[in-house]
Amino acid sequence: MSDVDRAAIGAAVRQLLAGSLGYLNAAALRVAVRARVADSLADGPLPVERIAELGGVDPGHLRRVLRFLATREVFREDEDGNFHLTTAAGLLRADSPIPLQSLILLFTDQTYWVPAGRLDDTVRKGVTVFDEIFGAQFFDYLATDEERQTLFSDAMACMSLTETGGVVQSYDFPEKGTVVDVGGGLGGLLYAVLSANPGLQGILFDREPVLRRHRLADPALDGRWETVAGDFYAGLPADADLYLIKRILHDKSDADCVRLLRSCRRSMAADGRVLIIDPLVPADGDYSPSIKLSDVLMMAVFEGKERTADELGALLGEADLAVSRIIPTPTTLTIVEAAPR
């Protein structure tokens, strides 16, 4: 074996072994967020003893976790043993413009972590083991756990922060009419749509406990929105011009997608439109690592998948809808516009 082959094999061994311990990366990030390390460093570097005191954790153990995270450029330790923020660590601060704390706590929560750890069972059975573990499907389980429901809604709102601007600027919204954000969570997308389109009215549709914490209350939007609580499979506000379905279908089985699309079809105005806003898998199968990662997540925790335009078109067809336009956005999301057939 040549030196080049030996070096390549050595690198591959390290890659595979580090990959198979990747869960420790997630666990260490969770420690940093829960101990509020980034917030403690907001005013400058500190020794680990002080960070641990502020976070209520053991200093010796925290030092080892932070040294590991520093190998990933999350935090930096100087020669005096003080820890500093890095660009990545700054995003873990509560006052960061993109506060990733809630997303990291969600992604490393048991509801994600435990089914992910049983991905082998999911792949063997061809179905998520989430309900086997938690006794219900994801959203029904959330409804029984207020703390996790809050965490999930906050995390989705955080994800939305980086997406809504790109969605709003990419689609030509009508000048007048009513937009329903179906499963709109805390209302980040609807807020952005209404702010950018002063002639539109909006309805935020979601489950009641989610709507209680909505973020639409802004005097600038007074009189232009309402919230409606319900089950989106059972029925939606009638006769609206646009139904937004963002980050909903990709966590659903084909059967549930059709149920939801039929619910939109039953409710929409004759010339209404549905906008499916999700990652879109290109037909040639050449898509980004982040969409492939999301696809596996959708498989492990939910009964969903990332889909191609043809796959979405087939589901729309079953609901008597058809793709009218496909509009890319500057984010990982694509807008698939659908109209009655």
Give the active site residues: 250
Least distance between ligand SAM and beta carbon 11 (Å): 38
Output 76 or 215, the one with its CB closest to ligand SAM: 215
Whole-angstrom distance, CA of residue 183 vs CA of residue 210: 9
Considering beta carbons, is residue 91 or 189 the nearer one to ligand SAM? 189
- Give the shortest CB-160-to-ligand SAM separation in angstroms: 4
In terms of CB distance, is 86 or 227 closer to ligand SAM?
227
Number of H helices, E strands in the chain: 18, 12
Beta bridge partners of 325: 337
What is the rounded CA–CA span in Å between residue 251 and residue 129?
Answer: 14
Closest CB to ligand SAM among 139 and 287? Answer: 139
The residues that touch ligand SAM, with contacts defined as CB under 6 A, are 139, 156, 160, 183-185, 206-207, 210, 231-233, 246-248, 251
In sign, the C-alpha dihedral spanning 77, 83, 87, 92 is positive
Look up residue 3 and give its amino acid. Answer: D
Q: Which is nearer to ligand SAM, 75 or 243 (CB)?
A: 243
* 82 to 48, 65, 218, 276: CA distances (angstroms): 7, 14, 43, 48
CB of 260: closest distance to ligand SAM in angstroms?
8
DSSP classification of residue 137: -
Dihedral angle over CA of 178, 184, 188, 191, nearest 10: 10
Question: Residue 28: CA atoms inside 13 Å, Cβ hemisphere, count?
Answer: 21
CA atoms of 126 and 117, how far apart (whole Å) = 15
Spell out the residues 6+ positions from residue 54 whose beta carbon is closer than 8 angstroms to its own.
36, 40
